[in-house]
Amino acid sequence: MAILINRRDIEPFLRLEEAVPAVEAAFKAAGQGIADLALAIKVHEIALKKGLGKEIEI
């Protein structure tokens, strides 16, 4: 089962410190046990803050 994610739907979460629990809960509610995605988003957010990454399209 694939889940399509629109960037505009999750963009507010990409900038919040509370992003990981919110995204993880959303995916669990959708039947996806993928906390790894939430962690990847959080790591990417930290990299952006430190100037180590670049914006990506989701």
Q: Is residue 40 part of a domain?
A: yes
Q: Is residue 21 part of a domain?
A: yes
Would you state the pLDDT for residue 40? 74
Q: Is residue 56 part of a domain?
A: no
Q: Is residue 37 part of a domain?
A: yes
Query: Could you tell me if 41 and 23 are in contact, meaning their C-beta atoms sit under 8 angstroms apart?
Result: yes
Q: Is residue 23 part of a domain?
A: yes
Amino acid at 37: L
Q: Is residue 57 part of a domain?
A: no
By CB neighbour count within 10 A (0-12 exposed, 13-18 middle, 19+ buried), where does 31 fall? exposed
Residue 47 has pLDDT above 70, yes or no: yes
Number of domains making up the chain: 1
CA 41 – CA 43 distance, rounded (Å): 6
* 7-27 pLDDT per residue, tens: 676 666 666 655 667 666 776
Residue 58 is given by DSSP the state: -
Structural domain boundaries, residue 16: 7-49
